[in-house]
Amino acid sequence: MTQIQRAAFIQQRLEQLYPDPPIPLDHTDAFTLLVAVLLSAQCTDVRVNQITPALFALGRIPEKLSKVPVEKIEAIVRPCGLGPQKARAIRQLSEILVREHGGQVPADLDALEKLPGVGHKTAQVVMAQSFGVPSFPVDTHIHRLAQRWQLTTGKNVSQTEKDLKRLFPQSVWNKLHLQIIFYGREHCTARGCDGTVCDICSTCFPKRKRAVKTKKA
């Protein structure tokens, strides 16, 4: 298969497996999604979903969380790892949203990336899932699979994002990034598949004999 053919097959197969992929982080609006994605850095979505109910009980809107002491936030989010940094970021971004954005999460990528603790991937997730803006957030699952499927040179997540946006139509970006995440967790895992085992890997590369060594993001 050529790269274009692989991309078409992968998109078709993922659509068969995950026709309506849910957002794995529990949330009710753009603000709760923003906080949940921030907490998910170096933490599993399952753990984040266990933590956020207690956090949002303190406040589900920036106006309320901006008044909660950092120490109280940290006590709740500590199990997610990087507790002090994440707690400060949540408090600070809540204050900024109230002071500069009327308590609303801005539907603007640049504005989101300026918020404490919000990187490019986090901002893109919010743009895609809360505001429907075509985006292709690249996490470790997507980066790893894109390399295994030879859809990117895989030097870093920025390059992976550019390559995937080039290969797939913009209309499927928001859905496809979720589909790849679910496939990476369920079928083409870091330990369960080395680039030769799962359905997509074995179909796209039937003659592949050696394990694929992926470069970390």
Catalytic hit among 121, 163, 175, 207: 121
Distance between CA atoms of residues 22 and 213, nearest Å: 30
121 has catalytic annotation:
yes
**Active-site residue (options: 139, 165, 209, 215):** 139
- Please confirm, yes or no, whether 213 is among the known catalytic residues: no
Kindly state the tokens that stand for 134: 């075509």
**Measured between alpha carbons, how far is residue 215 from residues 107, 119, 146, 152, 155 in Å?**
32, 21, 11, 11, 7
With CA atoms as reference, report the closest residue to 110 among 133, 82, 87, 89. Answer: 133
Q: Which residues are catalytic?
A: 121, 139
